[in-house]
Every structure is written in structure tokens, then in C-alpha cells.
Chains A and B, each alone.
Chain A
Amino acid sequence: MVDGVLVLDKEIVVPGQELAEGMDFLPGSNVLRDGNKLIATKLGLVQISNRLVKLVPLVGGYFPKKGDMVIGKIASISTSGWRVDFGWPFEALLSIREVSNSYIPVNGIEDMIKIYNFDDAVIVLIINVFGNKIIDVSTKAPGLRKLGPGRLVKIEASKVPRVIGKQGSMINMIKEYTNCKVLVGQNGLVWLSGPDIESELLAVKVIKKIEDESHVSGLTDRIKAFFEEKK
């Protein structure tokens, strides 16, 4: 172990736990410096590379960020836009201008409903966040749209990167083995649609398994083995 480091790399640590001692260490995300010591501020996996000590949380909710794609439901409609509930205390605004690059004639609410209706599930892009309260979203970019028939599964936001995998490796494996269409929102909502219920339930099971074992190394291989067994 490196001098001054008090924990193992990829060890599970708790808030308040001392991770390293020495002024030449740098606190990364979810790590604070208290005098000479670096302290964990969340329950998670510590990652040490050279003198940088950071923490990947294994728990915790989603915080909206510009550039994130999130899945939500249309909560209200006006003639200037829609409000989207994506599991945050404040609803996002999808303005009529952010739906298409071409002009959309709108004569009343009925025209708005034809585009997105109450309770429709949608995948949107966050284009602006201000003070947690104002969240502007858009469906202009490719892939953003109203979601077709399927189910919504809620996962912990902290597990989203594992469910997607490096460059989509994990999510692609899930799609391949289950023949399901899968879309993962950064907010932890996953939309799934499969050829039959068995495929969908298998996808749900695997996603839950990834959530439970996200902190254990070799996850990709284990999931692959899990699928091979099920064949």
C-alpha cells in the first residue's frame, strides 16, 4: 500500500471514513479535505490513482445536468409547451420551439395533444438547468421522442453507468440476449419493450442483478455467463 493511503483501491467506504493522510493527496469527487486527511462523504467505492482520491457513490438519487437524456411523463400541457415529470421535485419545460426545427402551427390544446399527450412517456434532452428549479428540455435531437408501448423500470441513478457499460457494452449485451428494445435515462428510469413477457422479465432481472452487484468486479463476465446459462 502506498504511504499515507489508509484504504485499498475499490474498497467500500462509509461517510466520515479516513481515506488518506498527507497534503500531497488531491480530493476528487465525494471526498473532502479536513486538515491533513482526506475523508469520504458518501457510501461508495474509493478510487485511488496516483495522488488523486475520489469516490464513486453506490447510493444516491439523480441530479439534473445539462446534456443528460432523461425519461419522464407528460404532466401538463399548454399552448406554448408541455411540462415533463422525470422524478424531480420540479417539472421540466418542453417548449413548443424545442420539439422541431420546422414550424408547427398550433390552434389550440388539441394540436398540442396530437404531439404529446398527458401521461405519454418521453425521452428528452436537458438543455438548461438553473438552480435545480428551472429545467429546460428538448426533443429536437435524434432519438428523442415519445416512447411506444413498453414498461418503465426504476433503477438507482448511481447504477446507470453500470447498466449502460463502457461505450454501451452492457446495454448492448442486454438488448442482444433478450431481443428487447431498451432505453436508459440518466435519471434512473429505463424503458423496455420486448417481443414477449419472458424476454422483458429476463431483461428486468438482469438489470436488477447489475444494480445489486455493481460494486463487484468482473460484472460484465458474470452477466454474460448468466445469459449463457439462461439460453
Chain B
Amino acid sequence: MKNSIKEHLFNLYGKGMHIDGRRLDEYREISIEYGISAKSAEGSARVKIGKTEVIVGIKLDLGEPFPDRPNEGSIIVNTELRPICSWKYESGPPGTDSIELSRVVDRAIREAHYLDFKKLCITPGEKIWMVFIDIYPLNDDGNLFDASALAALAALMDTKMPALIDGVIDYKQKTDKGLPLKKDIPVSCTIVYCDGYMIIDPTTEEEQFIDARLTIGFLDNGNICALQKGGDVGLSEEELMKIVELAERKTIELRKYLK
């Protein structure tokens, strides 16, 4: 026996609508702001999707390369689900939710080679640039995956390299040079599967009833660069391919929001 709030919501899905009247494949209002922490971060951005708000900052540091990639710089993605953004989070080390979010955002960027890691190498085998991508949701009203992924991309695009003087970073001096970014941006879209309906951009109240979730990263050339499935329920191949098609359409839309 379905509960009445769930029943009502699924009725709306049956009519092709979100709880707020949007079509099931429609995003809430999206806005991107660059340089929101320009004094301290090398790059930063704020993304709002409806009432969901995420800020991302980029910090650069020097480090040693991984032994199996001596000529490549690195990215490190970290998400902090702080209690400031919702009733549901408590202070503490990253839990599985924030780790999954970090890794999903990381995957699309890394596997698409969005940053030319070789250009982030200073001295092979010795010194590389490390790019820290720190994600902070400020208000969680659902769909943190897409808001965080978009904010991470915007923050990377906003980044200016700090000056390197005698092998030491001078954070007070910013150069004109940005990160070595490829032209083809890996944009992610998360689709949730609910009672057989494919839904884009769920709100927090809708996220309560999700059966499955699929985040797909797409490149401009139409290729998939990352995939992540979440949720307790399995998907058939047919369902999967329909989701992929929808995600491709939506990432083309999302790409337009980035400068």
C-alpha cells in the first residue's frame, strides 16, 4: 500500500511533471557566478540550481608526481557536506555520500583529460602542480551531483595560475595564465529513476523516493566520458539506453551555461 504523499507525487510523474510543475526533463533555474572567492582562491565559482547552491574553489600547490605518472600533474577533489547546508548533515570526516560525490565529479574531469596533466608537470619525476578542487554545498535542495559538477568546471575555467618564483609559489601574485584546459568540456547530467519514470533535477523531497540514479558525463563530440550508477534498484539495458539519450540532450543544454 503506497503512502499518500508518495502516491500523489507518482501521480504527477505519470502526468509528466515534477512536484513544482516542471516537466520531468526540465532543470530548475540555473545560474553560475565566477570568482566568488577571488582574493583567496586561484579560481572559484557558485552554481545555483533552483534553491540548491554549491560553491567550489580551486587551490594550487606543488607536489611530487605519482611514481607511475612521473610527467603528470594531479587533481584532488574533496567535498564537504557541512551542516550549514541541510538538517541532515553533521560535522565530521567525509562520509560515503561526500566521497561518492567527489569521486563522480573527479571521474568526468580526469577521464576526459579535461586538464592536460602533462602541462601541469614542472620537473619530470620531481615536481608537479597539484590542483585541489574543493566542493562546498551551501544549500541542499536536491541534485547536488549536477550543481557540484557544474561548479567544479566553472571554477576550473575561472582559475589563474599563481606566480612561481625560484620554485616557490607566490600566492599574492596571480599570472594571466589559466589552467591547461581542453576545449571539449566534460559535462555531467544525473538522471534519477523513480517508479519507472526518468527524472532530471529532483528536489530534496523528490530524492526521498528514488529507486536508482545514473550520472553520465558527456563530451561535446557525443562520447561518454564517465558513468556512475547509484540507488538500490537495477536498470534494464533498454532503460539504460533511454537514460543515456536523455542525458546527452541535457548536457548539450548545460554546456551553454558555461562561458
User: Is A bound to B?
Assistant: yes
Q: Which residues of A contact B (CB under 8 A)?
A: 73, 117-121, 146-152, 193, 197-198, 201
Closest to A146 in B: B4
Beyond A117-B1, A197-B12, whether A149 also contacts B7 by CB under 8 A is yes
Closest CB of chain B to A153's CB: distance in Å?
Answer: 10
Residues of B within 8 A of A147 (CB): 4
- Judged by a CB distance under 8 angstroms, whether B9 is at the interface is yes
Instruction: Give Cα A201–Cα B8 distance, bound, in whole angstroms.
Output: 14
Contact B4 A149 (CB under 8 A): yes
Contact B5 A150 (CB under 8 A): yes
Instruction: Give Cα A19–Cα B105 distance, bound, in whole angstroms.
Output: 53
Instruction: Give Cα A201–Cα B17 distance, bound, in whole angstroms.
Output: 12
Residues of A within 8 A of B8 (CB): 149-151, 193
Residues of B within 8 A of A119 (CB): 3, 5-6
Contact B20 A152 (CB under 8 A): no
Contact B17 A117 (CB under 8 A): no
The residue that B19 contacts in the complex, of A146, A149, A151, A198, with Cβ under 8 A, is: A151
Q: Which residues of B contact A (CB under 8 A)?
A: 1, 3-9, 11-12, 15, 17, 19-21, 205
Q: How many A-B residue pairs have CB under 8 A?
A: 37
Residues of A within 8 A of B4 (CB): 120-121, 146-150
Instruction: Give Cα A118–Cα B4 distance, bound, in whole angstroms.
Output: 11
Beyond A121-B5, A147-B4, whether A201 also contacts B20 by CB under 8 A is yes
Summarize B's interface: helix, strand, loop or mixed. Answer: helix
Q: A119-B6, A121-B3 are in contact. List 15 more A-B contacts (CB 8 A).
A: A117-B1, A119-B3, A119-B5, A120-B4, A121-B4, A147-B4, A148-B4, A149-B4, A149-B11, A150-B8, A151-B8, A151-B9, A193-B8, A197-B15, A197-B21
Select the residue from B4, B9, B17 with max chain A CB neighbours within 10 A. B4
Closest to B2 in A: A149
Interchain Cβ contacts under 8 Å between A and B, 27 examples: A117-B1, A117-B3, A119-B5, A119-B6, A120-B3, A120-B4, A121-B3, A121-B4, A121-B5, A148-B4, A149-B4, A149-B7, A149-B8, A149-B11, A150-B5, A150-B8, A151-B5, A151-B8, A151-B9, A151-B19, A152-B5, A193-B8, A197-B12, A197-B15, A197-B21, A198-B21, A201-B21
Residues of B within 8 A of A148 (CB): 4
The 8 closest A-B pairs by CB, nearest first: A149-B8, A119-B3, A149-B4, A149-B7, A201-B21, A148-B4, A150-B8, A120-B3
Residues of B within 8 A of A197 (CB): 12, 15, 17, 21
Instruction: Give Cα A201–Cα B22 distance, bound, in whole angstroms.
Output: 11
Select the residue from A73, A147, A151, A193 with max chain B CB neighbours within 10 A. A151
Instruction: Give Cα A149–Cα B15 distance, bound, in whole angstroms.
Output: 15
Residues of A within 8 A of B3 (CB): 117-121
Residues of B within 8 A of A149 (CB): 4-5, 7-8, 11
Closest CB of chain B to A132's CB: distance in Å?
Answer: 18
